Structure 1
Amino acid sequence: MKPTVALRLCVCVMPLLAGVMALPAHAQDAATAQGHDARAWLLRIHEAALQRNYQGTLVVSNGVQTSTSRVQHFADGGQQVERIDWLDGEARSMIRHNDVVHTLWPNAKLALIEQREPRATFPALFSGGEKRVLEWYELHPLGLDRVAGLPAEVVLLKARDALRFSQRLWAERRTGLLLRADVLAANGQLMESVSFTEVSIGIRSQAEQAMAVLRHLPGYRVIRNQALPTALEQEGWVLSKPPAGFQEVTCARRSLDVMASDSSPIVLQTIFADGLTHISLFIEPFDPKRHQAEAVTTLGATSTLATRRGDHWVTVVGDVPLETLKKFVQALSRKR
C-alpha cells in the first residue's frame, strides 16, 4: 500500500543519480548539515503527509502493471480524512476517517467497513516507528529535482543489508510532502515507483464532501469486517528468530473471506515492520481444496510465499526480497 546513514555511495548506487541535478556548493553544505539530522528530515516528510491538506493524481507502476488514483487528504481539527478513488479497472473508492475504513464498489453495490490501525502508505513514510528507520537504512542526499512541477529534495535510503530494498525519495522542498518514492534492487534496478503526476498542497479542507457518500448508500450490501486483537504466542505460534530489524506491530484474527458466509475460516494476520517497510504473515487452516503446492510469486517489489505448515497454510507478503520471506517461514513454529 511499502516496499540508513553513512555518507559513502558505493558504485552500485551511482546509476541512481541519473536525472537528478547535482547540488551547487552552497546547497551541498546545506544537505550535509541536514544529513547530520537525518531523523528530523525523515520525520518532516512523515508529518507533512499527516498534517497537510492535499489532493492530486497518483500513479503506481511496478514494471508490469500501472494504476492511477485520485487522492485527497484532510487534517481537520485533529481528524484524519482520506479518500482514494481508483481511476482504472473496476470502480472502487476507499474513504478513511481516522481508523475506520470504508471501501465501496459502486457497480456491485457493496460496502466493506473495517476498523484497523492506520499503516504508513504513500505519501506517509514510517511503518512501525520512525526511530528505527536509520538503524536499517543509510540516508544519502542526492540533489534537487522536480516532480509534478514542484521543486523537490531527493534522498536515497540505502538498505544496510540484503534483507530489505533501498528506497529513493523526492520530498517537496517547502512542505516536505513526499512526491515520489522508488523501490530499488541491490543493483540499483527500479522495481516499483509511486508518484504524484499533479498535486495541490495546502488546500482548504473538504473533509465533509469527501465523506458525504457514506451518509447514504441506497441498495448497498454493507459488510463489517471485525478483527479481534491477539498475539502470535497467544494463538500458539512462536517466531523464534525473525529477520533482523523486523518487529511485530499488530496481530489480529479476522474472517478469511468477508464476502462469504459467517462460516468463513478465520485467518490470523500479523504485521511486522522495520520502520520503513512492513511484512504481513497470514496463518489459516489448511484446506486441500484451496491449498495446493507451495507457491512463490514476485510482482515488482512485492514477493509472496505460501506453504503448508502441518495443519495450517502460511502466506507471507511484503516489499522485500524473497529470501527475507523464507526466513520468516523458517523461524515460525507451532507451540502447541
Structure 2
Amino acid sequence: MRRLLLVLLLGSAAAAQAQAPSGPRQLDPSATLDRLGIALQEHSFEGVVVYARDGQLDALRVRHLAGIGTDLVDRLTGPELPLRRGAGVAQLGSGTPLGFEAAAAGAVAKLEPQNHYRFEQVGEDRVAGRPSEVVDLRAGDGLRYSRRYWIDRDTGLLLRAAVYGADGSLVEQWMFSSLELGIEPSSPGAAPSPAQTLRAPSATDIPRTRIQVVDLPAGFALVSAAVDEEQEHLVFSDGLARVSLFAQPLPDQAAVLSGHQRRGALSVFGRLFRGLQIVVVGEVPAATAERFAQSVEPVRGG
C-alpha cells in the first residue's frame, strides 16, 4: 500500500459534462486502470487542483515527481494547514484523511472490478486545456460509488474525477485547472528511482492479523495489513474503492469514536469492540463502512 502513488481528490463543481459522439463504448477495466498507474510512474508534473465537496471549494498546488514517492502540496485556499503523508494516506492538518490512491495494476487485475463496475467510454472533453477521454465506471450495486474519469489522451494521467451516489447525485469532484508536464527535481539528490512492477499480494505478503472482517461486501478482499504489538491496519479493495480498518486499544477515559461521519465521498465509522477502538475509513457509502466495522471478529488462535 505504501508504494502506491497519491492523486489528491480536488475539483470543480461547475464544469460541463462531455458529450458522447457515438454512444458508450465498452472498455477493458484492467487496461483502463493499468494506464492510470503507469502514467503516474512515468510522468512528472506540477499543477493546481480544485476540489468541490459538501458545498466547499478548495484549491491545492501539487508537485509530483515520477519514481520519487513523495508529492509536494501547498494549500492555496483557507488556513495554511500542513499536508503530510502517512501509511499511503494524505491528510490535511489533523483532519480526516483525504486522498485517492491510484490502484496497483496487478492487484486490480486480480480483484476483477469488472464484476462490480461497468466501464464505458462516453465521450471526449478538455481539462486544463488538454484533450481527454471521458470514462464512466458505473457501480452495479449500492455498496460502492459510481465514478466518471477524465483521462489525458496523450499521457494517461487522471485529470478530473467525479463521484456519484446510488441515486445519481454528485457526491464530490476534483480536477486540474492547470498542469505543467516534465518538471525536474528541485535538488540534485531527488533523482527518480526505476519504475517498479506492481503486483497483487499473495497470502505470504500479508502478515497474520488478530482480527478479521467476517462479512466482507461482495468483491472486496484484504490487500494489505500492518501489525504491531497493539495496533492493526487492514486495507481492503474491490479493485477500485479502498477501505482502511484501524484497530487499537482504547486508553482509560479516552473518548470513543462511535457512529458515522462523512466528508465528501469519504465515510468514517467508529465503534468499540472488546476494548479496541475500531475505525473504518473509505471512499464508500456510509452503509458499506458500517458493515466493515460491525463485521469485525477475532481470528481464531490469533
Alpha-carbon contact 1:144-1:152 (below 8 Å) kept: yes
TM-score, normalising length: structure 1: 0.69
Alpha-carbon contact 2:209-2:227 (below 8 Å) kept: no
Q: CA 1:134 to 1:209, structure 2 compared with 1: closer, same or farther past 3 Å?
A: farther
The one of 54, 61, 65 aligned to 1:70: 61
Match of residue 263 from structure 2: 299
1:36 CA displacement? 4.8
In structure 1, C-alpha distance between the alignment counterparts of 2:169 and 2:107, rounded to whole Å: 27
Q: What are structure 2's unaligned runs of at least 5 residues?
A: 1-5, 10-14, 94-98, 192-204
Alpha-carbon contact 1:127-1:273 (below 8 Å) kept: no
Q: Percent identity?
A: 30
Give the 4+ runs in structure 1 shifted more than 6 A: 99-105
Match of residue 239 from structure 2: 275
Q: CA 1:91 to 1:299, structure 2 compared with 1: closer, same or farther past 3 Å?
A: closer
Match of residue 241 from structure 1: 215
Match of residue 21 from structure 1: 19
Q: Structure 1, residues 118-154: CA drift from partner, whole Å, max 9, x if none?
A: xx946x3558822133232111211111111211110
In structure 2, C-alpha distance between the alignment counterparts of 1:333 and 1:311, rounded to whole Å: 13
In structure 2, C-alpha distance between the alignment counterparts of 1:164 and 1:138, rounded to whole Å: 12
In structure 2, C-alpha distance between the alignment counterparts of 1:267 and 1:160, rounded to whole Å: 34
Aligned length: 268
Alpha-carbon contact 1:83-1:95 (below 8 Å) kept: no
In structure 1, C-alpha distance between the alignment counterparts of 2:292 and 2:117, rounded to whole Å: 20
The one of 77, 85, 91 aligned to 2:74: 85
In structure 2, C-alpha distance between the alignment counterparts of 1:189 and 1:102, rounded to whole Å: 26
Match of residue 274 from structure 2: 310
Match of residue 44 from structure 1: 35
Match of residue 194 from structure 2: none
1:83 CA displacement? 2.0
In structure 2, C-alpha distance between the alignment counterparts of 1:127 and 1:282, rounded to whole Å: 25
Alpha-carbon contact 1:230-1:253 (below 8 Å) kept: no
Q: CA 1:292 to 1:240, structure 2 compared with 1: closer, same or farther past 3 Å?
A: closer
Secondary structure of 1:305's aligned partner: strand
Q: CA 1:127 to 1:167, structure 2 compared with 1: closer, same or farther past 3 Å?
A: farther
Alpha-carbon contact 1:291-1:313 (below 8 Å) kept: no
In structure 2, C-alpha distance between the alignment counterparts of 1:104 and 1:332, rounded to whole Å: 28
Alpha-carbon contact 1:148-1:197 (below 8 Å) kept: yes
Alpha-carbon contact 2:256-2:277 (below 8 Å) kept: no
In structure 2, C-alpha distance between the alignment counterparts of 1:248 and 1:21, rounded to whole Å: 38
One-letter identity of the residue aligned with 2:261: T
Q: What are structure 1's unaligned runs of at least 5 residues?
A: 4-16, 106-119, 213-228, 255-264
Q: CA 1:178 to 1:286, structure 2 compared with 1: closer, same or farther past 3 Å?
A: same
Alpha-carbon contact 1:248-1:273 (below 8 Å) kept: yes
The one of 321, 326, 331 aligned to 2:290: 326
Alpha-carbon contact 1:45-1:177 (below 8 Å) kept: yes
In structure 2, C-alpha distance between the alignment counterparts of 1:64 and 1:266, rounded to whole Å: 39
Match of residue 191 from structure 1: 171
**Structure ID, larger Rg:** 1
Alpha-carbon contact 1:253-1:267 (below 8 Å) kept: yes
169-178 or 266-275: bigger deviation: 266-275
